Structure 1
C-alpha cells in the first residue's frame, strides 16, 4: 500500500492537480487549504509524506515545516516543499526549516510523481 500524503496548499487549481496526480498513482490524499488545518491534520492523521506550499494565507511554509518538526512529527515523515517561491537560497531555507526536499512550480505532471518519490525514497 502506498503512503498517505497530506497536501497543504491554498490554491484550488494546484490542489486539484496535485490530488489528481497522486490519487491516480494510488496514493491516499488528505487536503488542507491553510497552515493551521495542515498542522492539525498532520497531528491527527500521521501522513507519511507532507507536501507544503510556501505562500499560504495564515503562515508561510517555512513556519509550517518548523512547527511540524518542533511538535513531534515522526522523524520518518517526509516533508517536501512544493512552491513557485523559487529564489536563490529558498531551497536551503526550506531544508533548514525542516523540509526533506524541494520541488519548484509549475510542476511537470509527467515527472512530478517520480520527483516526489526520489525525495521520499532517498
Structure 2
C-alpha cells in the first residue's frame, strides 16, 4: 500500500491522504476535516475502500482537489505506486475471508 499526504488547501481541512491499496486493487483517498469528530477517527470523505472501487487515479485527483493542493504529477505518482506495489489476487483474498475459522478450543491455554 502506498500512502501520500497532500497539503491541505486551508485550515478547514486537517489531512488528505491518497495512494494505491494493493489488496483492494484500488486507488484511494481519505479526507479528514478539522473539527470532525467521527468515531474511530474515520475519514470525513473516502473513496477506494472496496475491491476495484477506483481504477482511475484521475478520480482520486478529482475528489481531493477541493481539499488539498494537488501536485501536477500526482496521477503519474499514483500509477507508479500501482506498478511498484503490484496487485493482489482478490478471489484468493475473498476465499481466505470466507474460509472456516480454525477451532482453537482444543489448544492448551498457556496462561
Q: Give the alignment's TM-score, normalised by structure 1.
A: 0.27
Q: Give the alignment's TM-score, normalised by structure 2.
A: 0.29
Higher RCO (CA 8 Å, separation ≥ 6 residues): 2
Which protein has the bigger helix share?
Answer: 1
Task: Tell me which structure has the larger Cα radius of gyration.
Answer: 2
Which protein has the bigger strand share?
Answer: 2
